[in-house]
Amino acid sequence: MTRIRLYNTKTRAKEDVAPIDPANVRMYVCGPTVYDRAHLGNARPVIVFDVLFRLLRHVYGPEHVTYVRNFTDVDDKINAEAQRRKALGDPRSLEELIRERTEETIGWYHADMDALGALRPTLEPRATDYIGQMIGMIAGLIRSGHAYAKDGHVLFRVRSYAEYGRLSGRSVDDMIAGARVEVAPFKEDPMDFVLWKPSDADLPGWESPWGRGRPGWHIECSAMSEELLGTSFDIHGGGIDLQFPHHENEIAQSRCAHPEADFAKVWMHNEMLQVEGKKMSKSLGNFFTVRDLLDKGIPGEVIRFVFLQTHYSKPMDWTEEKARAAEATLRKWRGLVADTEPAPSPAPSVIAALADDLNTAGAIAELHGLAGAGDRAALKRSAEAVGLLTDELSRWEWQPRIVAATGRAEGRSTARGVGESRFDCMDRIAQKLADARTSALRSKDFTEVDRIKSILVSAGVEVRMSKEGVQLLPSSNFDPAKLEALE
């Protein structure tokens, strides 16, 4: 069996993965707060842990891996959006507006992540469906002295957990010394964090022993992971920015609630995304969502490829240049594996790269090797192991056909599935160009051929002409409107 090695943030070392129960390998990843479209940075953990999910399924069997990724659907930003809509005159109740907002955001999230070729996790719990478990866990922490209630709030007593700060390598005293937070009056200690907080009448709330209120952010993940994966499980993932305080707090809550258990054995953190060398932020004007890129015509598969080129533990830079290069490579590979039956299993070299702490860049290098060797079946199957060259992601590419100079069309044609209409004119124009070229080759007057070609190029269509015939390849920025002059 393939030995998977992963870098464990908790021990700061690469370790062999030894599942608690190989018949049910369990992974939890912190999911999105569903208040708006996912931005490009949100895609990174999704793709990273999707590759790990695929690898675990490959090694332990698809039915022996449980992957949980939550939706945080109770949050002040969600409330703010709902209140904004209400202020704009929407007659519905706040609860209805919140429900609508989270429902539509979850729908967007699924659509966008599907477009990136990410498999859906085994379970996608919503925080609001686990309020009871959270209340139970908080009550237990109060009983054991790890938490206290004050003025409708419940706070975790950080000093009661000696190992607090272990994951992120911080000491409580250092943090207090450098802290910039003002201390709320209901806190015993500045480091204590909220488990439960009171809700006003105009905020969503649930009845609890401490009054009507809502849970703090950190308790959600502790309660859901325990309910769905147990008190000890194999892998916990998320962005490096969650390492502190979110993951530190999760560990404190869960280990204090269940001192006999380990909680997560391996902690994995992906590094952040940058855009053209800078942090993505609204103030820098380089903030964009996954949907923005898809709408610009950049295929999800291209986005995925760009992400996989950088190891998850390193900061990654998104650039237009990378997207262009990735698209060129994928075009080449897709041409190579078209109509190819995948090999029964991925190339061992690809699996070996992935098993070495998810070395996706190394895996892609191996794929280049397979492509260079012309091993189409292995390329297709191996690429699928990292979620590339899958049939689900093939829609972006128009499968070009060659219109021969003899006037007869050859080969397969048209895009598969959705989006076909965009390319409806392609065959007709290709034929027109092929005809013009046939007569030009006789008359030696290429004026008309060059005219058609330059219009196509300006519309974002690559034109290839050879003695086999004419081939048109619309690129991702193809604009059908610019072809009107040819109609």
**In angstroms, what CA-CA distances link 188 with 150, 159, 163, 300, 411?**
9, 10, 19, 49, 74
CA distance 461 to 314: 36
* Binding letters toward RNA, positions 283-312, x by CB under 7 A: --------------------------xxx-
* Residues in 370-399 that interact with RNA by CB under 7 A: 372
Distance CA 303, CA 168 (A): 30
Give dist(CA 168, CA 242) in Å, integer. 10
Which 192-231 positions form the footprint of RNA (CB under 7 A)? 194, 197, 216-217
Task: Tell me if residue 214 falls in helix, strand or coil.
Answer: strand
Interacting span for RNA (CB under 7 A) from 53-61, 118-126, 133-141, 448-456? 448-456
CB of 207 to RNA, least distance (A): 19
Binding positions for RNA, 397-436, rule CB under 7 A: none
- Comparing CB distances to RNA, the nearer of 170 and 422 is 170
Smallest distance, Å, CB 378 to RNA? Answer: 15
* Closest CB to RNA among residues 1, 177: 177
**From the CB of 32, what's the least distance to RNA, in Å?**
5
Is residue 180 involved in binding RNA (CB under 7 A)?
A: yes
From the list 312, 288, 290, 310, the residue with the least C-alpha distance to 301 is 290
What single-letter amino acid sits at 9?
A: T
Q: Is 271 in the site for RNA (CB under 7 A)?
A: yes
Q: Shortest approach of RNA to residue 84 CB, angstroms?
A: 16
Which CB atom, from 40 or from 97, has the smaller least distance to RNA?
40
Task: State the maximum Cα–Cα separation within the chain, in Å, rounded to a whole number.
Answer: 94
Structure letter (DSSP) for residue 20? S
How many other CB atoms sit within 10 Å of the CB of residue 148? 18
Answer for which of 114, 356, 375, 435 binds RNA (CB under 7 A) is 356
Instruction: Tell me whether residue 60 or residue 223 sits nearer to RNA (CB atom).
Output: 223
For residue 247, report the phi and psi dihedrals to the nearest 5 degrees.
Answer: -70, -35
- Identity of the residue, 263 or 288, whose beta carbon is nearer to RNA in the bound complex: 288
Q: What residues from 132 to 171 belong to the interface with RNA (CB under 7 A)?
A: 168-171
Among the residue ranges 116-124, 227-235, 237-245, 389-397, the one whose residues contact RNA (CB under 7 A): 237-245
Q: Which of 462, 475, 479, 482 binds RNA (CB under 7 A)?
A: 462
Q: Decide if residue 282 touches RNA (CB under 7 A).
A: no
CB of 195 to RNA, least distance (A): 10
Residue 465 in tokens:
């002409």
What are the contacts of 440-444 at 24+ separation with CB within 8 A? Answer: 441/405
Q: Which of residues 307-336 bind RNA (CB under 7 A)?
A: 309-311, 313-317, 321-322, 325, 328-329, 332
CB of residue 26 vs RNA: minimum separation in angstroms? 19
Q: How far is it, in rounded angstroms, from Cα 30 to Cα 46?
A: 10
Least distance CB 115 / RNA (angstroms): 17
* Sole residue written with tokens 């590339």: 388
**Cα distance between residue 423 and residue 477, in whole Å:** 13
DSSP state of 241: G
Q: Which of 95, 103, 129, 174 touches RNA by CB under 7 A?
A: 174
Contacts 24+ apart (CB under 8 A), 450-455: 452/486, 455/482, 455/483, 455/485, 455/486
Q: Please pick, from the candidates 274, 340, 431, 475, the single residue that binds RNA as defined by CB under 7 A.
A: 274
CB of 246 to RNA, least distance (A): 7
**Per-residue CA distances from 427 to 297, 336, 430, 447 (Å):** 21, 22, 5, 21
N- to C-terminal Cα distance for the chain?
A: 60
Residue of 19, 121, 213, 238 interacting with RNA (CB under 7 A): 238
Per the CB < 8 A criterion, the answer to whether 471 and 478 are in contact is no
- Listed ranges 106-114, 129-137, 140-148, 353-361: which one lies at the site for RNA (CB under 7 A): 353-361
Closest separation between CB of residue 309 and RNA, Å?
A: 5
Closest separation in Å from C-beta 228 to RNA: 19
Tell how many helices (H) and how many strands (E) occur in the chain: 15, 17
Q: CA 122, 136, 97: angle at the middle one, nearest 5?
A: 65
CA atoms of 445 and 37, how far apart (whole Å)? 53
DSSP classification of residue 18: -
Residues touching RNA: how many (CB under 7 A)?
81
Binders of RNA in range 38-67 (CB under 7 A):
39, 41-42, 44-45
Query: How many Å apart are CA 391 and CA 433, to the nearest integer?
Result: 31
Tokens encoding 78: 């969600």
